[in-house]
Structure 1
Amino acid sequence: MAGQLTTLDAGFLQLEDTNPHVSLAIGGVAVLAGPPPEFSALLDTIGTRLLANPRATQVLRTHPLDLTAPEWADDPAFDLTHHVRRSALPNPGDDAALYAEVATIMERRLDRGRPLWECWVIEGLTEDRWALLIKVHHALADGISASNLLSGLCDDTDVASFATAIGAAKHPRARAGFRLPSLNPLDWIGDSLRFSAGAGKVALRVAGGAAELTAGLLHPAAPSALNGPVGDLRRYGSAVVKLRDVEETAHTLGTTVNDVALAAVTDSYRAALLRRGLKPRPDSLRTLVPVSVRAPDAMDVPDNRVSLMLPLLPVDVADPLQRLRAVHERLTAAKSSGQRQAGSMMLWASNLIPFPVTAWTVRLLSRLPQRSVVTVVTNVPGPRQPVTMMGHKVLRLLPIPPIAAGFRTGIAVFSYADELTFGLLVDFDAAPDVHELTTGIERGVQRLHRLAKAGGRSRRKGDLLLLSSG
């Protein structure tokens, strides 16, 4: 499976090149019941399962002056032992020690002279546990395809995934004679030719979405320590909540699981601004929300297939219910405004421009100070049922997002079995309160769940019922 990188894939390389302190790798950690197998057995299993993906043994071939896009090529000197490594936690080997090790591993850049992935076996966890960390460059995979790499190590690769619930995967484009809009720009062109009346609406939506994205990128966020230059050290933390609580809250309050997750993130960031002595403002937390445009038949393709939205999360709203309502309304407005379609159209169109032009444009723009977007929150679907690896039960799956381009904090939200896990990677100096950020997210979910249960019992009119109708 050789081939050239898309503009988006190559853009992650160029973005990394602009800042020596940035590593644009993403990852995931599986916490497993122990003790771990012998390392030789681990090496054999990882080699058998992970190397089934062709990208695992391919390297990037670049061209002078970026005259053409980088391409994947087989690595004749591939050595599995360069990529599978061992680490042992210092005493006491608790979750805090695991998170510190994760941060240290993610600080270091992947060697571009080798295939762009690593697998770390982490031993010494308390409660008879061990961990397996998969680290891949963002140029190779987005969140869903990276999750599939991790799932490929599981004993049962046919476990149902929450990925079937994402918008691009769960809706066929035609159902009972009704044609749903596609996020593939080639489909829009075909639709426009066949249905001229709809072409104008599509064009207006894309134009409106493009205008909103441009305005969001040009409007600076309120100054805070949450955005600015990124250093070379990281901290990592996680928040874990019951998926059932989030689903019940969303159902009772008439929103979505993603709305509740983002409202909890907003709650935590509001508290962080207040701890720093800053007044939360309406423009304090513009957030990049990646949107998957991956079709069901491309779930296993190792590349990036995302668009984006840029909502302002309402950290200025003090009331939790009103804050959730504002998140729901803003996400609904962003979805209907054409931001996703505009982002997808722009990425598609960039692949038609000669690569030297896009490469140097991306490199130039990425060197400019980015002051509008404060953080990124990405939602990655995982297995619906508990899984095992090499006969060991996977107790927990932790996602690891990247940070770059003025984002000093990044959040990945991962659904696994009955848990929803928030993984936070933050700049070491800019966000020393990563523990407060994670506990703030857990507290935000719990608060909304309590309010939802209380409102469901009382059935009283007021903010709750107003929210349900919003």
Structure 2
Amino acid sequence: MSKKISFLDRMFWITESKANPKHVAAMQLLEIPENAPTDYVDQLYAELQSFDSAVTPFNCKVSQFLGYPIKLTPTKQINMQYHVQLHIVDDITNKVKLHKFVAKLHESWLDRDKPLWQYHLIKDKQSKVFAIYVKVHHMCGDGASLIRIFQKGYSENINSSDFVPVWASKSASRTKPKVNIFKRILTGLWGFIVAIKDLLWIIFRLMLKLLWINRVYMPIPFTGTKTILTGQVKIGRVVSSMDIDFTRVTKLAKRLRASANEILLCAFDIGVHRFLEEHGQGFDKALYTNMPVNLRKPGETTAGNQIAIVPVKLAFDEHDPYLRLRQIIENHRIVKSVARESHPAAFSYYTLLIQSFSTLFEVLHISDWFRPIGNILVSNMPGPANTLYFKDAKLLSNYPISTITPGGGVNITVVTYNGIAQIGLVSCDSKIDSLDNMVKYFHAAFNMLEKCVDDDSLSIKDIVIR
């Protein structure tokens, strides 16, 4: 059965280029079962390739008209040699080398003539750990919907007997409630009118801010700070990952009267500033984050993309980590207040409006001429609360790796798993060769945030990594 594609989903296809592929991914580390044969990963690879009958969207490729995506259409045959691959590295436990290997896998785009997903198994010859790098095109869903989809391939218990990978796992059919067509048209029309009204109000308020009449509002687009991480997105990626005990984050958030997301934003902001200083870019300007806003209603589990991305100003001109956090809280909540007051579709239209300009600059190769919308994109999603198994292999960690927005920067994605915030970073490699020191700065910044509650003499300038 063919599957319709929403307008927002189509944008991920239309704006894709070989320099900036629009897939999202995860780097997972798994533990080989005790007493497993030495060729365990090879056997698992062969078993996965035997599941050559897929379900939607894993059996669908994009039907096009003059390059424009129309719908997802089932294919007659799945090329499992392409969709499931096996790689051998020297040492899977060497995260620096693993990051470089995964970065090479992440920089290439998915074959547009095939279903838009791949599983890469990565092993060495001596470790009791192996990795799975899985990527899927962003037009198949946003972070929240893809987490739900891929969680079907895992279980809370060892499942060797009736294991089925996610691409072959049939979903329970749901009966769609009958909807009065006339009522549906009227509801949609009224929603469109309200969304356009709210969009015009957003633009009007931004114009007032531009004229210095109303300064307390969302950031004006394309007023971000130029850095070595921003500009024209080019071929080549650097990837890194990190873990933070999420219990520490929530406890600190409670003590500082902040949200967990604001605590992480502050640590990321400090870390990126210190990383840029390490590369000769020391300044006290604010950086900006692109903040994804979930447009789904509570309890809604629809597939596809239902997000908006808007800029949020971070902190500046303060070396006290606590005062930087207060700045971020204030700026973050200004944007959240606008989101609550606006129709969800208005934010979606606003995202399409500003991202279309950013994409145009990228297509014309003039992104370096303009200020970016944001320096970092930070998204935070809840993941599984308990330990999971991929067949009989224990899932140790699950680091999300996203795409890069037009205008560059670093994309930081947080997914909680079994009480741990697991964080994946990705950026272009045109001016840097690693993000691993940025991860160290994040850890140091978070530790300083914990200590600043009781020590007001701390300064982010004192953060040193080794």
Would you call these one fold, judging by a TM-score over 0.5? yes
| Contact 1:30–1:394 (8 Å) recurs in 2 | yes
Question: How far, CA to CA, are the matches of 1:287 and 1:421 in structure 2?
Answer: 19
Question: How far, CA to CA, are the matches of 1:24 and 1:391 in structure 2?
Answer: 32
1:321-470 equivalences under 5 Å are 321-338=322-339, 341=342, 344-345=345-346, 347=348, 364=360, 366-367=362-363, 369-370=366-367, 371-373=371-373, 374-452=375-453, 454=454
Question: How far, CA to CA, are the matches of 1:52 and 1:65 in structure 2?
Answer: 25
Query: Which residue of the other structure, out of 277, 280, 288, is the alignment partner of 2:280?
Result: 277
Shift of 1:436: 1.2
| Residue 92 to residue 375, structure 1, CA distance change in 2 (3 Å) | closer
Report the counterpart of residue 286 of structure 1 in structure 2: 288
Question: How far, CA to CA, are the matches of 2:3 and 2:355 in structure 1?
Answer: 17
Aligned residue for 2:272, secondary structure, equals: helix
| Contact 1:45–1:390 (8 Å) recurs in 2 | no
Deviates more, 1:288-297 or 1:258-267: 288-297
User: Which amino acid in the other structure matches residue 367 of structure 1?
Assistant: V
Aligned residue for 2:139, secondary structure, equals: coil
| Contact 1:267–1:315 (8 Å) recurs in 2 | no
Shift of 1:365: 5.9
1:315-326 equivalences under 5 Å are 315-326=316-327
Report the counterpart of residue 163 of structure 1 in structure 2: none
Aligned residue for 2:384, secondary structure, equals: coil
Higher relative contact order (CA 8 A, sep 6+): 1
Question: How far, CA to CA, are the matches of 2:125 and 2:204 in structure 1?
Answer: 49
Aligned residue for 2:15, secondary structure, equals: helix
| Residue 90 to residue 404, structure 1, CA distance change in 2 (3 Å) | farther
User: Which amino acid in the other structure matches residue 63 of structure 1?
Assistant: F
Aligned residue for 1:70, secondary structure, equals: strand
Deviations 1:253-298 (A, max 9, x none): 1110100111111010111232233343444x22211122234654
Q: Root-mean-square deviation (CA), in Å?
A: 3.5
Question: How far, CA to CA, are the matches of 1:278 and 1:428 in structure 2?
Answer: 17
Deviates more, 1:274-283 or 1:213-222: 213-222
Question: How far, CA to CA, are the matches of 2:417 and 2:206 in structure 1?
Answer: 32
Report the counterpart of residue 102 of structure 2 in structure 1: 102
User: Which amino acid in the other structure matches residue 19 of structure 2?
Assistant: H
Question: How far, CA to CA, are the matches of 1:399 and 1:42 in structure 2?
Answer: 22
| Residue 222 to residue 350, structure 1, CA distance change in 2 (3 Å) | closer
| Contact 2:199–2:350 (8 Å) recurs in 1 | no
Deviates more, 1:210-219 or 1:113-122: 210-219
User: Which amino acid in the other structure matches residue 134 of structure 1?
Assistant: V
Report the counterpart of residue 240 of structure 2 in structure 1: 237
| Contact 1:366–1:405 (8 Å) recurs in 2 | yes
Q: Does 1:254 align with 2:252?
A: no
| Residue 264 to residue 366, structure 1, CA distance change in 2 (3 Å) | same
Report the counterpart of residue 77 of structure 1 in structure 2: 77
| Contact 1:212–1:339 (8 Å) recurs in 2 | no
1:113-192 equivalences under 5 Å are 113-124=113-124, 128-156=128-156, 189=190
Percent of aligned pairs with the same amino acid: 20
Question: How far, CA to CA, are the matches of 1:23 and 1:295 in structure 2?
Answer: 29
| Contact 1:270–1:315 (8 Å) recurs in 2 | no
Question: How far, CA to CA, are the matches of 2:355 and 2:279 in structure 1?
Answer: 38
Report the counterpart of residue 225 of structure 2 in structure 1: 222
Question: How many residues in Structure 1 have an aligned counterpart in Structure 2?
Answer: 408
Shift of 1:217: 5.6
Deviations 1:57-111 (A, max 9, x none): 0000111264xx4210001132233201111112474111221111011011100
Aligned residue for 2:40, secondary structure, equals: coil
Question: How far, CA to CA, are the matches of 2:280 and 2:227 in structure 1?
Answer: 10
Q: Does 1:54 align with 2:56?
A: yes
| Contact 2:232–2:362 (8 Å) recurs in 1 | no
Shift of 1:432: 2.7
| Residue 436 to residue 350, structure 1, CA distance change in 2 (3 Å) | closer
| Contact 1:308–1:340 (8 Å) recurs in 2 | no
| Contact 1:60–1:112 (8 Å) recurs in 2 | yes
**Unaligned 5+ residue runs, structure 2?**
34-38, 158-185, 211-218, 457-466
Deviates more, 1:225-234 or 1:117-126: 117-126
**TM-score with structure 1 setting the length:** 0.77
Report the counterpart of residue 172 of structure 1 in structure 2: none
Deviates more, 1:363-372 or 1:27-36: 363-372
Report the counterpart of residue 6 of structure 1 in structure 2: 6
User: Which amino acid in the other structure matches residue 105 of structure 1?
Assistant: L
User: Which amino acid in the other structure matches residue 22 of structure 2?
Assistant: L
Deviates more, 1:340-349 or 1:93-102: 340-349
Deviations 1:105-144 (A, max 9, x none): 1011100000000001111287521111210111112112
| Contact 1:94–1:125 (8 Å) recurs in 2 | no
| Residue 400 to residue 349, structure 1, CA distance change in 2 (3 Å) | closer
Deviations 1:14-37 (A, max 9, x none): 2213xx312211111221112673
| Residue 420 to residue 358, structure 1, CA distance change in 2 (3 Å) | closer
Aligned residue for 2:312, secondary structure, equals: coil
Aligned residue for 2:58, secondary structure, equals: helix
| Contact 1:411–1:424 (8 Å) recurs in 2 | yes
| Residue 324 to residue 359, structure 1, CA distance change in 2 (3 Å) | closer
**Unaligned 5+ residue runs, structure 1?**
158-184, 193-198, 352-356, 461-470
| Contact 1:28–1:147 (8 Å) recurs in 2 | no
| Contact 2:358–2:407 (8 Å) recurs in 1 | no
| Contact 1:226–1:430 (8 Å) recurs in 2 | yes
Question: How far, CA to CA, are the matches of 1:350 and 1:286 in structure 2?
Answer: 15
Aligned residue for 1:422, secondary structure, equals: strand
Report the counterpart of residue 29 of structure 1 in structure 2: 27
| Contact 1:58–1:114 (8 Å) recurs in 2 | yes
| Residue 265 to residue 133, structure 1, CA distance change in 2 (3 Å) | same
| Contact 1:95–1:125 (8 Å) recurs in 2 | no
| Contact 2:29–2:132 (8 Å) recurs in 1 | yes
Aligned residue for 1:429, secondary structure, equals: coil
| Residue 210 to residue 448, structure 1, CA distance change in 2 (3 Å) | same
| Residue 409 to residue 59, structure 1, CA distance change in 2 (3 Å) | same
